[in-house]
Structure 1
Amino acid sequence: MSATDNEPQVAPRATPATAQGGTAGPASSAEDAELLAALGYEQKFDRKVSLWANFALGFVYLSPLVGVVSLFALGLATAGGPSILWIGIVGVGQFLVALVFGEVVSQFPLAGGLYQWVRRLWNGRYAWFTAWTYICCITIGITSTALFSSDFVASLFAGTTDEPGITSTPAERLWIAIGMTIVCLVCNLFGTRTLALISKIGLAAELIGIVLVGFYLLIFERHNSISIFFETSSSNHDSYFSAFIAASLVGLFLFYGFEACGEIAEEVPNPARSIPRAMQLTVAVGGVAALFAFVGYALAAPDLDSILSGEDGNPIPSILQASVGTVGTKLVLLVILTSFIAGVMSQQAAASRITFSFARDNMFPGSRIFSKITSKHRVPRNALLAVNVVPLLIFVFVYYSPDSLTKIAAFQMLAGYAAFMMVVLAALRMRLKGWRPAGAWTLGRWGFTVNVAALAYGILGMVLLAWPTGDSDTAFVDRWIALIGFLIVSAVGLVYLLTVKPERQSTAPEGDAIEVAERLRSRAALATSTTGEKAA
């Protein structure tokens, strides 16, 4: 349901202001609903996602285990051991972005995350284009995660994993991806409680797969020296600098997903406080876990040269086979598969919530259909079904063009970074106009500095993602595929935006971040005054 007024009335109850000058988030479901009403919407979802479950959702979306096992061979084959440095570089940059997101979501804890944030920070037109870009990103995310899982499923069900580089055939990849997508969709249709439970299971699987296996590999199965992380090598690039830049994908592909914590804000109790914490935990814990996993597998690789040369493109099963045997390998692969399932589920949930939020504001074709919530499980079923249509089509495309997967993933991340930076830019623009975030969690006087640093990092990340891949002999389209794909998607979105003008069909609030902040501060001051009078 969209607001019918650009100045929604603020509910009378409030909570005390924070030390940074913001307002405390609601402590009960009744106060959550009041804050939501103050922002122009009715409570539709069940608030059953705890702080722990919210963190688990973001963590399995970011999925350091899935990220490392998917990109481990690529990083080492591209730039050798020093490719691990990108996990730290990107981790710091994305933590800055998470801090900016935290301030925004604390003031606007609304389903749909990025779309709602930029709508309130700028306007409906800007929000439409941001949402279009981001929905494209997540849709491809569902696709790539399901497809990347296929090699591990093939290894899991193979008789042995003695031979390096076990990979799925195009047909196996197609059916595995379709099966995973359908299983995750069915689980998501059972509601928020099921999503939270599987997210927690996925988190436990991630930690088992990283901590227990990592410690075992480091203590008992070290075959290589720590010096490998300082030895440069490249077999696919004209210079090491270009190789190291290309290896940035190890970090850039890894650190996204923390924004999913905010996509389900209307399903989280006390979201103004808990969601910023969940985002920060996701990036920090995920980064440390990814570093730990990368180090463990690299030092335990019995045939590191074959990975560095690119001969072994799927080395994790063979590393596990040499270290923990067939039974141990199967168990770890089962853990990895659990992480893939949880990751696809979280991506489906995030995509469906932003589609629902988009439709609720009458900004989406078929808005009446996609803004519906099921009465039993309280999920946007139609939106969930819709966000899985394109992945199924892309699965078929990849079947006929097996080499296109990494190209599709490259576009995915560039679109994701662009959507992130639209939020960061909108926040900076509103700060320059006088906005002081008034949520339960703020950065205080550090907000402006962090905002500028996050924008600078994000622009750098976009440049790296758009950077041409391969060497001088690679075809032009293949070298620039990420940028070309992004420009095509952006052009399609802009044509629709400028011709149909969907923002004119919506009466939902927009560009009111300063006004809302002032009302929230007044609300907090009134609550503090009332509390003082009662105490007296």
Structure 2
Amino acid sequence: MEETTTSGYATAFPRVLRRFALFAIAFSVVSITTGIFVNYAYGLTTLGPAAVWLWPVAAVGQILVVLVLAELAGHMPLAGANYQWSARLVGTRFGYAVGSLGVLYGAVGLPGIALIGLAPLTATVLGLDATDTTLLLVIAVLAIVLAYLVNIIRVQWAARVNNLAVFAEIVGTVVLSVVVLALWAHGHASTPDGGHGLGFLTTTNPGTPLADGIVGGALIGIFTLVGFEAAADMAEEAVDARRTVPRAMIAAAVISGVLGLVALIGFTVAIPDLAAVEASPVPLAAIAGYWLGPVLTKVFLVIVVFSMFALLVVAAASNSRLLFAMARDGLLPASTAMARVHPRTATPVTALVVSLIVCLLLLGYGTLDGQAFTVLVGATALVPYLAYLLTLGGYLARRRRLRTDGGSGFELGRAALPVATLALVWLVVVVAALSLPDAFRAADYVVLGGIALAGLWYVAVLRRRLRDGTAGLPDTTPTTTVVEAG
């Protein structure tokens, strides 16, 4: 049985996503396979093998964050999660600021994964030229369009892709790392490094200042362990959302943290030649290739490609639900059209199409100026943490506003204040690490530019809409409880 929230909205989606599907959504958008594969080189070349021990630091910090967000999801299981939570705790204008960061994050992050991660790997698997920018653009466009088509047709199709991705993530990262580690244990004495023990995991790069190395090493986990609230973005399509969504978010964060550490230790201990692996553009592929040979390594790359595609699918769903949620409250251009759900497919088709067009435009811009795209993608590391920081700040300031009339499937109780405070401290540290160093200065300007665009829309149009009541949250006076089969 499913009890709807007293949110002031008419039911827009059928509730078809059950517990495992919600977990798969959160787990796939975190995607330890994608995150470790893309970011491992940075940590290895800055701090060295010791970077693996900063992964659990990031995992613990993000678990603190997810615990707070899970409580919010239990109270307010609504599409466009961070926007809705912030708006209902603090106010529509504050929610608009948080939601705008989410729109920026989705618009750049999805094409970034497609062009920088999925496209060159797909070309490599197919034996094509992975340096051909035109070819990479074609692959990225096809992957993005396909990911959005899956979502347009029916949300259950997207759920099936992500259900498979759970097993692909585990096999392609954790199982592979264990196999590689076992092969290393059997034949490590014959490696170019002459074999090394677990003490190798404490090795640091002497050429990098320790402070810079720590930041660089931590980025493996910081870049990867985000997005678990995607399950909450799909809350209006979830069965028993108040209970299943918070548990899916927590499970995804904890399991990703544990399995990611196992994978990092396995791959790092199995490094056959540190200098060669550090010089490789794809260190994990170099490690796997040494121990498994070309055929099994290609199988590994296929699994990674599928994991990245699954991430595109769930990111497309999450992006469109945020646009839908903000449009439903009249906060965006073309709000009336984007707030519609197609009666046959039960998906927000217009929001999906708008999100697709924005992604393709940014993809084209990034391809014309590769350096600009690298900067844009770098900005997406900072944006989600800013959104988390604002949401956590709103939670601490206005937690007593949490409504209890509909019940909640997850409560922190007396642990709420210490957990939220520690999570806020963690987020302040991460935001500082991602914005203060000179290496991230260009990305800072991109974020400021995105905020400026959101501010321009607010001043030019949205402020008037909010003032005359044509935009903003609906009346949330409790209504008759609706019960539907689950």
Q: Is the shorter-chain TM-score for this pair beyond 0.5, marking a shared fold?
A: yes
Q: Do structure 1's residue 348 and structure 2's residue 348 form an aligned pair?
A: no
AA of the residue aligned to 2:249: M
Question: Is 90-99 or 397-406 further displaced after alignment?
Answer: 397-406
For residues 190-201 of structure 1, the aligned pairs below 5 Å read 190-201=153-164
Equivalence for 2:484: none
CA distance in 2, matches of 1:447, 1:228: 39
For residues 308-347 of structure 1, the aligned pairs below 5 Å read 308=278, 311-347=279-315
Equivalence for 1:142: 110
Residues 82 and 230 in structure 1, CA contact (< 8 A), matched pair in contact too? yes
Q: Of 97, 101, 107, which aligns to 1:133? A: 101
Q: Secondary structure at the match of 1:233?
A: coil
Q: Do structure 1's residue 68 and structure 2's residue 29 form an aligned pair?
A: no
Aligned Cα RMSD in Å?
A: 2.1
AA of the residue aligned to 2:451: S
AA of the residue aligned to 1:442: E
Q: Secondary structure at the match of 1:48?
A: coil
- 1:136, distance to aligned residue in structure 2 (A): 0.5
For residues 205-284 of structure 1, the aligned pairs below 5 Å read 205-222=168-185, 223=188, 224-233=196-205, 235=207, 237=208, 239-284=209-254
- 1:233, distance to aligned residue in structure 2 (A): 0.3
When residues 424 and 85 of structure 1 are mapped into structure 2, their CA distance, relative to the original with a 3 A threshold, is same
Q: Paired residues, what number? A: 465
Q: Of 114, 123, 126, which aligns to 2:91? A: 123
Q: Bigger radius of gyration, 1 or 2?
A: 1
AA of the residue aligned to 1:506: A
CA distance in 2, matches of 1:57, 1:97: 18
AA of the residue aligned to 1:482: A
Report the TM-score when normalising by structure 1. Answer: 0.82
Question: Is 141-150 or 255-264 further displaced after alignment?
Answer: 141-150
Q: Do structure 1's residue 407 and structure 2's residue 375 form an aligned pair?
A: yes
Q: Secondary structure at the match of 1:480?
A: helix
- 1:482, distance to aligned residue in structure 2 (A): 2.1
For residues 90-105 of structure 1, the aligned pairs below 5 Å read 90-105=58-73
CA distance in 2, matches of 1:464, 1:482: 13
CA distance in 2, matches of 1:300, 1:507: 55
Deviations 1:260-308 (A, max 9, x none): 0100101001111111111111111111121122222222233321333
CA distance in 2, matches of 1:50, 1:430: 31
Equivalence for 1:39: 7
- 1:450, distance to aligned residue in structure 2 (A): 1.1
Equivalence for 1:452: 421
Residues 248 and 464 in structure 1, CA contact (< 8 A), matched pair in contact too? no
Deviations 1:170-194 (A, max 9, x none): 2232122111101111111121111
AA of the residue aligned to 2:175: L
CA distance in 2, matches of 1:434, 1:57: 29
Q: Do structure 1's residue 204 and structure 2's residue 167 form an aligned pair?
A: yes
- 1:317, distance to aligned residue in structure 2 (A): 2.5
Q: Of 477, 481, 495, which aligns to 2:456? A: 495
When residues 463 and 199 of structure 1 are mapped into structure 2, their CA distance, relative to the original with a 3 A threshold, is same
Question: Is 459-468 or 337-346 further displaced after alignment?
Answer: 459-468
CA distance in 1, matches of 2:178, 2:409: 38
CA distance in 1, matches of 2:338, 2:215: 41
Deviations 1:91-145 (A, max 9, x none): 1111111111111111111111111111110111111111111110111111121
CA distance in 1, matches of 2:167, 2:124: 22
Q: Of 484, 500, 506, which aligns to 2:445? A: 484
- 1:216, distance to aligned residue in structure 2 (A): 0.6
Question: Is 339-348 or 86-95 further displaced after alignment?
Answer: 86-95
AA of the residue aligned to 1:157: L
Equivalence for 2:259: 289
Residues 217 and 300 in structure 1, CA contact (< 8 A), matched pair in contact too? yes
CA distance in 2, matches of 1:509, 1:269: 23
- 1:212, distance to aligned residue in structure 2 (A): 2.1
AA of the residue aligned to 1:503: L
Q: Secondary structure at the match of 1:387?
A: helix
When residues 369 and 436 of structure 1 are mapped into structure 2, their CA distance, relative to the original with a 3 A threshold, is closer
Q: Do structure 1's residue 430 and structure 2's residue 398 form an aligned pair?
A: yes
Q: Of 369, 375, 380, which aligns to 2:343? A: 375
CA distance in 1, matches of 2:262, 2:343: 44
- 1:392, distance to aligned residue in structure 2 (A): 1.4
Runs of 4+ that moved beyond 6 A: none
CA distance in 1, matches of 2:304, 2:395: 37
Q: Secondary structure at the match of 2:153?
A: coil
Q: Secondary structure at the match of 2:408?
A: coil
Q: Secondary structure at the match of 1:111?
A: coil
Q: Of 302, 305, 311, which aligns to 2:275? A: 305
Report the TM-score when normalising by structure 2. Answer: 0.91
CA distance in 2, matches of 1:253, 1:94: 11
AA of the residue aligned to 2:257: G
When residues 503 and 414 of structure 1 are mapped into structure 2, their CA distance, relative to the original with a 3 A threshold, is farther
Equivalence for 2:76: 108
Residues 367 and 373 in structure 2, CA contact (< 8 A), matched pair in contact too? no
CA distance in 1, matches of 2:401, 2:353: 41
Deviations 1:296-346 (A, max 9, x none): 2222233321333xx212122232222222221121111111101100011
- Which is helix-richer, 1 or 2? 2
Question: Is 107-116 or 496-505 further displaced after alignment?
Answer: 496-505
CA distance in 2, matches of 1:342, 1:387: 17
Question: Is 320-329 or 137-146 further displaced after alignment?
Answer: 320-329
Q: Secondary structure at the match of 2:311?
A: helix
Residues 153 and 337 in structure 1, CA contact (< 8 A), matched pair in contact too? yes
- 1:234, distance to aligned residue in structure 2 (A): 5.0
AA of the residue aligned to 2:240: N
AA of the residue aligned to 2:409: A
Equivalence for 1:14: none
Residues 298 and 304 in structure 1, CA contact (< 8 A), matched pair in contact too? no
AA of the residue aligned to 2:447: F
Q: Of 405, 426, 430, which aligns to 1:461? A: 430
AA of the residue aligned to 2:18: S
Residues 280 and 286 in structure 2, CA contact (< 8 A), matched pair in contact too? no
- 1:405, distance to aligned residue in structure 2 (A): 4.4
Q: Secondary structure at the match of 1:363?
A: coil
Residues 149 and 177 in structure 1, CA contact (< 8 A), matched pair in contact too? yes
- 1:86, distance to aligned residue in structure 2 (A): 2.5
AA of the residue aligned to 2:163: K
Residues 234 and 243 in structure 1, CA contact (< 8 A), matched pair in contact too? no
CA distance in 1, matches of 2:306, 2:71: 32
Residues 78 and 234 in structure 1, CA contact (< 8 A), matched pair in contact too? no
